[in-house]
């Protein structure tokens, strides 16, 4: 891949006065594969061009060949730092298509998982901003608590990172005692850790001087570029899908949306910190609501939808109807209404949307993922215009670019 | 243009002040464009309509500028391939969002696969830049007026548009996967006779980029038999 | 919500017993004496190399996050001597390809491999790097052994950090037992020729 066609010569000159530097696709600090070809005038960036697609895995093409319940594994690998959010978003899209209503307890369980995933994602982003500015300690401290979040996922679905969690219609099993104990341990210990992590960075003079003023963007430009999520909120616009189009009973929870002002790296860091505190608040409220449920409600973990939710294996082996439903669901004989639906959730990076067109068959006719990282990476050249090279690195890590979501 | 987003954090408050409904939007659109817009539907509560492809920019501009409609956020831009619709095979789908009144909208423009030219929305929305490049990469929709319409996710040398329905998902030149084991026993033979838009046969090995970055001219030789590798 | 069988989980830690946790490394074959130990040069060089490998993490996707977990303090990779992760291939011994490699990325993996100096080892971490993983599609390279010779494959999607450490220990075995004449021999040259590397 030659870079000659990226070089822009100044008007009327026959030789270059700027240096071309190739940032990526292999990055330090394990950022993920995307490339940036920058023109440098000394230390300042004159122009930049981004190229992506180094991990294009053709999710949308693969999704046309998979039945709806097998696409969950593909959605895991979009924003893999917070895969449960992607899974739940997909399940909700299909439930919207099918017209399934879920019991409240399932919604609250989903909220707990999604907020844990959001904390996990923001922890990676903020600690990697620290690593990129030279502070490795914060990363090591918070990775311990990410390990605890992984253990909670393991108790629920068996897997740490690419979780494939839940089913269309709820969860595959109720949360075990071990899962609740680990969640309680997390709720008890994590706030102190987050406070310690904050103390390392938020009023740290070196960190503030590195990040304040690096890569600012105004609210208007951010909206025009299609920003969503913490990056948009840092620019001053309070758009959060959980509040604007509440899904999974988010309207029952009381939380705030942290909003920044200048949209630079420091604001993005603070917005993510604030969101982690709000996520803890939501988890505590959901936990209390679930503990308060009594009687039959307290054991529900899936919707009553035998046409779409696989029956229990004991029933499949002993009861006839369960066997028939199992066969129909797996072989694709269930009624999927044809139609098109767009559903979005607030992912770790913003509005993660699923545009699903179904023709009534087992596989989608067309599935498109509205991926926030892909859409806001376009703005990178504008964000780093005239900045120094080290600012460009910090901007890249503070935007939380996840290559899996960018290329899909 | 100032963005008037009020700092509410409860969706119910939005719903109470929301005076804009799908009916109002539909009436305003019909008042402006008469009968050029068609197929008004509301699948799952989202107003959807179809516009002729010459009007796509006018519709977008109208929805952007109008002080009551205020659709100033482009959520998504993608395409769908319908091989059955003759003369309307490719549909470019725009999802718009009015953030102040919290209403979404979807509209589609259809174009034929022989002449898939659609006007670009990059003048109005900077986010359409890469979304249109992705749509071009996957479906071959030519966005007229786009500043930089070239492939974005696939390799630059690719000569076909992979998301179109006639192309298979798997790479037909791979040798290490036995299609019979994957339940696709007769696929290799079928693929070589399937519709291929380039003169090169489907089962000829694709030559990768003829130069590695920094070392022009060094050709990669993909091994034809992985059993030789010790 | 009563569990069918009791589960042992980490929030009630068991008392650690020293006897369960000591592993002794055997010394290579040789002739010991008063103040000296004579063994073959291969063994000495192998022993030195294997306990101070400098890996280069070529992390692309989800497996990269598990690699970050492996580097972190819980599953510390630094215990095995891989304290210093290099990001320049010219300074590294072990290329760990972690994650999916798309066809667009293939030439870049090859380029990075060529930039490494001998002796160099390659570890394919994850199902995607080993064989394409779950992505049997037109844009994904079905395993990096299409472009570079691989020494150890670590399966998993993503492999647990313990699995990555296990793969690392297998690399250490290979490094420790490798003959110092291997890289100049004909068989190795043939191997590289089959990949188009001179």
Q: Which chains touch A (3 or more CB pairs under 8 A)?
A: B, C
> How far is the alpha carbon of C178 from chain A, nearest alpha carbon, in Å?
29
Residue C76 contacts residue C48 (beta carbons within 8 Å): no
Interface ipTM: 0.90
B-chain CB neighbours of A248 within 8 Å are none
Residue C148's Cβ-side half-sphere holds a number of Cα atoms within 13 Å equal to: 29
> How far is the alpha carbon of B66 from chain C, nearest alpha carbon, in Å?
43
C-chain CB neighbours of A81 within 8 Å are 65
Distance CA C152, CA C169 (A): 10
> How far is the alpha carbon of B19 from chain C, nearest alpha carbon, in Å?
44
Distance CA B168, CA B146 (A): 29
Residue A135 is predicted with a pLDDT of 87
Domains in chain B, start-ordered, CATH in brackets?
Answer: 11-144 (3.30.460.80), 166-193 (no CATH)
Contact flag C137-B219 (C-beta cutoff 8 Å)? no
**Please, what is the average pLDDT of chain B?**
76
Contact flag A182-C57 (C-beta cutoff 8 Å)? no
Closest chain A residue to B93 measured between Cα atoms? A355
Q: How confident is the model at residue B13 (pLDDT cuts 50, 70, 90)?
A: very low
Distance CA B111, CA A155 (A): 50
**Please, what is the average pLDDT of chain A?**
90
Q: Which of B102, B151, B163 sits opposite A244 (nearest CB)?
A: B102
Q: How many A×B Cβ pairs under 8 Å?
A: 121
**Please, what is the average pLDDT of chain C?**
88
Contact flag B5-A238 (C-beta cutoff 8 Å)? yes
Report the b/e string of A250-261 with b at 16+ CB within 10 A: beebebebbbbe
Residue C13 is predicted with a pLDDT of 67
* Mutation for B interface: C105, C115, C129, C136, most B CBs within 10 A: C136
Percent with pLDDT over 90 in chain B: 47
In chain C, where the domains are located: 41-194
Residue predicted with more confidence, A129 or B201 = A129
Q: Model confidence over C133-142: pLDDT tens digits?
A: 899 889 999 9
A-chain CB neighbours of B151 within 8 Å are 53
* Residue C8 predicted with pLDDT over 70: no
Residue A1 is predicted with a pLDDT of 41
Residue B6 contacts residue A302 (beta carbons within 8 Å): no
Residue C81 contacts residue C140 (beta carbons within 8 Å): no
* Residue B7 predicted with pLDDT over 50: no
Contact flag C64-A162 (C-beta cutoff 8 Å)? no
Q: Which chains touch C (3 or more CB pairs under 8 A)?
A: A, B
Query: pTM (2 decimals)?
Result: 0.87
A-chain CB neighbours of C104 within 8 Å are 53-54, 56
CATH fold of C41-194: Rossmann fold (3.40.50)
Contact flag A226-B102 (C-beta cutoff 8 Å)? no
B-chain CB neighbours of C129 within 8 Å are none
What is the full DSSP assignment across A33-53?
S-EEEEEEETTEEEEEEEE--
A-chain CB neighbours of B122 within 8 Å are none
* Residue A36 predicted with pLDDT over 60: yes
* Average pLDDT, integer, range A111-128: 94
B44 CB within 8 Å of a chain A CB:
yes
* Mutation for B interface: A20, A54, A65, A342, most B CBs within 10 A: A342
Contact flag C137-B170 (C-beta cutoff 8 Å)? yes
Percent with pLDDT over 70 in chain A: 96
C81 CB within 8 Å of a chain B CB:
no
Residue A298 is predicted with a pLDDT of 83
Residue B8 is predicted with a pLDDT of 37
Counts for chain B of helices (H) and strands (E), in that order: 5, 7
Whether residue B200 is preceded by a cis peptide bond, meaning omega within 30 degrees of 0, is: no
Task: Record the tokens describing residue C138, joined without a space.
Answer: 């037109």
C142 CB within 8 Å of a chain B CB:
yes
A-chain CB neighbours of C9 within 8 Å are 151, 155, 178, 181-182
* Residue C17 predicted with pLDDT over 60: yes
User: How many residues are present in chain C?
Assistant: 198
* Residue B221 predicted with pLDDT over 60: no
> How far is the alpha carbon of B196 from chain C, nearest alpha carbon, in Å?
14
Q: Which of B11, B75, B155 sits opposite A251 (nearest CB)?
A: B11
Pick from A323-332, B135-144, C3-12: least confident: C3-12
* Residue B203 predicted with pLDDT over 60: no
B-chain CB neighbours of A238 within 8 Å are 5, 7, 9
* Residue C5 predicted with pLDDT over 50: no
Beta bridge partners, B92, equal B79, B109
Residue predicted with more confidence, C86 or A4 = C86
Helix A137-157 with A104-132: angle, nearest 10 deg: 160
C5 CB within 8 Å of a chain A CB:
no
The class level of CATH for A59-407 reads mainly alpha
Whether residue C75 is preceded by a cis peptide bond, meaning omega within 30 degrees of 0, is: no
Residue C128 is predicted with a pLDDT of 92
Q: Which chains touch B (3 or more CB pairs under 8 A)?
A: A, C
Task: Please provide residue B119's backbone torsions phi and psi, each rounded to the nearest 5 degrees.
Answer: -70, 145
Contact flag A238-B7 (C-beta cutoff 8 Å)? yes
In chain A, where the domains are located: 4-51, 59-407
Q: What residue ranges in C82-190 does DSSP mark as E strands? A: 94-98, 121-125, 152-154
Distance CA A315, CA A324 (A): 11
Distance CA C38, CA C31 (A): 5
């Amino acid at each position: 891949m030659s870079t000659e066609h990226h070089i822009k010569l100044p008007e009327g000159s026959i030789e270059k006065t700027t240096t071309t530097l190739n940032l990526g696709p292999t990055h330090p600090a394990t950022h993920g594969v995307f490339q940036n070809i920058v023109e440098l005038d000394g230390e300042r960036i004159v122009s930049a061009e981004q190229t992506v697609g180094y991990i294009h895995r053709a999710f949308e093409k693969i999704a046309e060949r998979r039945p709806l319940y097998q696409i969950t594994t593909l959605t895991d690998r979009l924003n893999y730092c917070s895969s449960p959010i992607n899974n739940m978003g997909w399940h909700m899209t299909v439930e919207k298509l099918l017209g399934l209503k879920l019991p409240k307890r399932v919604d609250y369980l989903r909220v707990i998982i999604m907020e844990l995933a959001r904390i996990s994602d923001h922890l990676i982003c903020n600690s990697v901003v620290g690593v990129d500015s030279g502070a490795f300690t914060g990363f090591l401290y918070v990775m311990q608590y990410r390990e605890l979040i992984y253990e909670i996922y393991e108790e629920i679905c068996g897997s740490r990172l690419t979780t494939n969690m839940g089913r269309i219609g709820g969860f595959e099993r109720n949360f075990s005692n071990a899962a609740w104990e680990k969640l309680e341990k997390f709720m008890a210990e994590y706030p102190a850790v987050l406070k310690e992590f904050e103390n390392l960075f938020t009023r740290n003079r070196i960190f503030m001087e590195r990040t304040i003023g690096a890569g600012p963007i105004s609210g208007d430009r951010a909206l025009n570029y299609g920003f969503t999520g913490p990056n948009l909120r840092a620019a001053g616009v309070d758009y959060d899908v959980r509040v604007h189009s509440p899904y999974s009973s988010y309207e029952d929870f009381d939380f705030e949306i942290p909003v920044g002002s200048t949209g630079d790296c420091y604001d993005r860091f603070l917005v993510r910190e604030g969101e982690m505190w709000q996520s803890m608040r939501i988890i505590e409220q959901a936990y209390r609501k679930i503990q308060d449920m009594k009687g039959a409600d307290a054991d529900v973990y899936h919707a009553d939808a035998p046409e779409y939710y696989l029956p229990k294996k004991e029933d499949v082996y002993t009861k006839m109807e369960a066997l028939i439903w199992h066969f129909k669901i797996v072989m694709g004989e269930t009624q999927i209404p044809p139609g098109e639906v767009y559903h979005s959730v607030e992912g770790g990076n913003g509005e993660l949307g699923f545009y699903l067109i179904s023709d009534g068959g087992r596989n989608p006719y067309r599935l498109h993922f509205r991926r926030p990282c892909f859409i806001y990476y376009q703005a990178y050249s504008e964000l780093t215009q005239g900045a120094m090279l080290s600012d460009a690195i910090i901007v890249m890590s503070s935007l939380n670019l996840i290559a899996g979501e960018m290329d899909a | 243009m100032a963005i008037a987003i009020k700092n509410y954090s409860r969706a119910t408050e939005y719903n109470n002040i929301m005076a804009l409904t799908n009916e109002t939007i539909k009436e305003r659109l019909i008042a402006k464009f008469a009968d050029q817009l068609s197929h008004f539907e509301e699948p799952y509560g989202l107003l959807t309509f179809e516009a002729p492809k010459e009007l796509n920019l006018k519709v977008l501009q109208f929805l952007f500028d109008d002080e009551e409609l205020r659709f100033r956020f482009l959520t998504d831009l993608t395409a769908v391939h319908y091989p059955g619709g003759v003369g309307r095979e490719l549909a470019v789908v725009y999802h718009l969002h009015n953030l102040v009144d919290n209403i979404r909208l979807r509209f589609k423009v259809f174009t034929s696969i022989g002449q898939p030219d659609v006007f670009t929305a990059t003048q109005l929305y900077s986010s359409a830049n890469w979304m249109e490049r992705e749509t071009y990469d996957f479906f071959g929709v030519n966005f007229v007026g786009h500043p930089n319409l070239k492939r974005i996710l696939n390799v630059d040398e690719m000569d076909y548009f992979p998301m179109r329905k006639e192309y298979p998902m798997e790479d037909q030149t791979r040798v290490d996967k036995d299609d019979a084991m994957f339940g696709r026993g007769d696929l290799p033979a079928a693929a070589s006779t399937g519709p291929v838009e380039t003169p090169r046969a489907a089962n000829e090995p694709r030559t990768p980029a003829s130069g590695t970055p920094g070392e022009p001219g060094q050709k990669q030789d993909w091994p034809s038999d992985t059993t030789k590798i010790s | 919500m009563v569990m069918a069988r009791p589960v042992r989980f980490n929030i009630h830690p068991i008392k650690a017993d020293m006897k369960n946790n000591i592993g002794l490394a055997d010394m290579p074959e040789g002739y010991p004496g008063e103040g000296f130990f004579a063994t073959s040069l291969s063994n000495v060089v192998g022993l030195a190399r294997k306990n101070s490998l400098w890996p280069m993490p070529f992390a692309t996707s989800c497996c990269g996050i598990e690699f970050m977990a492996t580097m972190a303090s819980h599953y510390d990779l630094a215990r095995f001597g891989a304290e210093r992760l290099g990001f320049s291939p010219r300074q590294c011994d072990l290329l760990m390809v972690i994650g999916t490699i798309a066809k667009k990325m293939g030439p870049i993996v090859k380029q990075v491999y060529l930039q490494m100096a001998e002796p160099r080892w390659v570890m394919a971490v994850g199902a995607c790097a080993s064989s394409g993983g779950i992505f049997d599609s037109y844009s994904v390279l079905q395993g990096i052994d299409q472009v570079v010779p691989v020494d150890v494959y670590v399966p998993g999607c993503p492999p647990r950090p313990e699995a990555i450490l296990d793969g690392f220990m297998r690399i250490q075995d290979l490094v420790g037992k490798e003959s110092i004449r291997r890289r100049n021999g004909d068989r190795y040259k043939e191997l590289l020729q089959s990949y188009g590397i001179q």
